[in-house]
């Protein structure tokens, strides 16, 4: 393993990372500068009709880059919501995973998830919405302009990564399906098919894997409906073909390979809360001051910073996204309701 001698705790623009990430950051800053006007333009009108119940005729609208290959490359515009921190290598992002449907070792998802059939794939949108239905994942992908969102990911286990996701704000989907006034929470449901997912035969969790958000958390612009990473469609081990990513919460809130999204009135029971309620709460906001019953959450190990001199990084409240999300929790005791 390569041993690096210095590890900036919180890299700033201009700090030197690997050659590859340097190129990426430089390119991204150039794009941000050039596209600052275009980026704030309203979503392309051509995406507005994607929900017009066109079975297979939803030809590429241009939102995802006209003519893009649906099975590999994904075009995405840069986002001011991205961190400038050095992204974790593609090898680590796709080789060190939690996806218990494929086993509990970090290397199991990469080893076994290729058996996941990601097409055709439909997603049921159910519950308290004006426009429920079953939607093809490729139609869902086209309803809004795809953005690159480079987010920190903090696992409850005490490690972290920086991942260049591709997707759009979950709120774009909400605009299309129109939750009713009764929708107070959103439940996310992962596929649970023992024929494709060997881990589902074990009882380590209650399947299907379910997660949930309060409706205002789901509507927050940072909450990303995610279709790709590192310029390509999601690899199976990262939750192909579509997942949610909630960067201010512990990683387990970001459910993979979604087959249903339910708008509901009551707080859903989630898989991890059901398995160990004293260890995993519903909110699960990253909080360095609330320890896991079995370990401290004050610091984290950044994956890829191996070697003798790797230091742990201090964990930040809301994973560093407090400026954007703290107001969602005004008046809540985040030590008790976690
Ligand atoms: N369906 C499902 N989603 C899941 C998990 C899982 O086991 N099953 N693991 C979670 C955990 S604990 C983490 S840290 C992240 C990891 O996402 P990544 O492998 O894409 O980095 O996925 C989350 N989503
Ligand atoms: Mo995690």
Q: Is the pLDDT of residue 290 over 80?
A: yes
Residues 6+ apart with CB under 8 A from 188: 210, 211, 212, 213, 244, 255, 258, 260, 261
Longest CA pairwise span in the chain (Å) = 56
DSSP-derived secondary structure letter, 270: P
Write out pLDDT tens, residues 210-268: 999 999 999 999 999 999 999 999 999 999 999 999 999 999 999 999 999 999 999 99
Write out pLDDT tens, residues 171-215: 999 999 999 999 999 999 999 999 999 999 999 999 999 999 999
Alpha carbons within 13 A on the beta-carbon side of 187: 20
What is the token pair recorded at 228?
A: 């790709």
d(CA 255, CA 291): 23
Q: Is the pLDDT of residue 35 over 80?
A: no
Judge if the beta carbon of residue 97 lies within 6 A of ligand 1: yes
Whole-prediction pTM: 0.84
Q: Pocket of ligand 1, candidates 198, 213, 239: which has the most ligand atoms within 8 Å of its Cβ, to mutate?
A: 239
- Residue 252 Cα to ligand 1 midpoint, Å, equals 5
CA dihedral 230, 163, 215, 328 (to 10 degrees): -140
Instruction: Look at strands 159-169 and 299-302 and give their pairing.
Output: parallel
d(CA 92, CA 23): 19
Of the pLDDT bands very low, low, confident and very high (cuts 50, 70, 90), residue 104 is very high
- Residue 97 Cα to ligand 2 midpoint, Å, equals 8
Judge if the beta carbon of residue 190 lies within 6 A of ligand 1: yes
- Residue 152 Cα to ligand 1 midpoint, Å, equals 14
Instruction: Look at strands 299-302 and 313-314 and give their pairing.
Output: antiparallel
User: Whose CA is closest to atom 24 on ligand 1?
Assistant: 255
Q: Is the pLDDT of residue 23 over 80?
A: no
């Amino acid at each position: 393993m390569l041993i690096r001698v210095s590890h900036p705790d919180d890299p700033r623009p201009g700090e030197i990372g690997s050659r590859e990430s340097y190129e990426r950051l430089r390119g991204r800053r150039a794009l941000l500068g050039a596209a600052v006007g275009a980026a704030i333009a309203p979503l392309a009108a051509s995406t507005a009709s994607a929900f017009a119940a066109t079975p297979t005729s939803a030809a590429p609208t241009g939102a995802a880059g006209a003519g893009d290959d649906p099975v590999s490359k994904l075009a995405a515009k840069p986002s001011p919501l991205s961190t400038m921190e050095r992204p974790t290598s593609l090898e680590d992002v796709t080789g060190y995973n939690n996806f218990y449907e494929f086993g509990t070792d970090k290397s199991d998802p990469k080893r076994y998830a290729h058996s996941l059939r990601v097409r055709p794939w439909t997603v049921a949108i159910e519950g308290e919405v004006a426009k429920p239905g079953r939607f093809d994942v490729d139609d869902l992908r086209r309803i809004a302009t795809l953005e690159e969102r480079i987010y920190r990911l903090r696992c409850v286990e005490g490690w972290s990564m920086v991942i260049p996701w591709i997707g759009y704000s979950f709120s774009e989907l909400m605009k299309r399906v129109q939750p009713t006034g009764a929708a107070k929470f959103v439940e996310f449901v992962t596929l649970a098919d023992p024929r494709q997912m060997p881990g589902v035969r074990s009882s380590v969790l209650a399947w299907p894997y379910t997660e949930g958000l309060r409706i205002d958390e789901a509507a927050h612009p940072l909450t990303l409906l995610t279709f790709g990473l590192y310029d390509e469609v999601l690899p199976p081990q990262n939750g192909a073909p579509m997942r949610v990513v909630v960067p201010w919460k512990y990683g387990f809130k970001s459910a993979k390979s979604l087959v249903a999204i339910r708008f509901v009135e009551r707080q859903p029971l989630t898989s991890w809360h059901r398995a160990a309620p004293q260890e995993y709460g519903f909110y699960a906001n990253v909080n360095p001051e609330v320890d896991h019953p079995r370990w401290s959450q004050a610091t984290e190990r950044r994956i890829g910073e191996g070697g003798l001199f790797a230091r742990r990084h201090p964990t930040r409240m809301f994973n560093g996204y407090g400026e954007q999300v703290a107001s969602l929790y005004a008046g809540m005791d985040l030590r008790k309701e976690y």
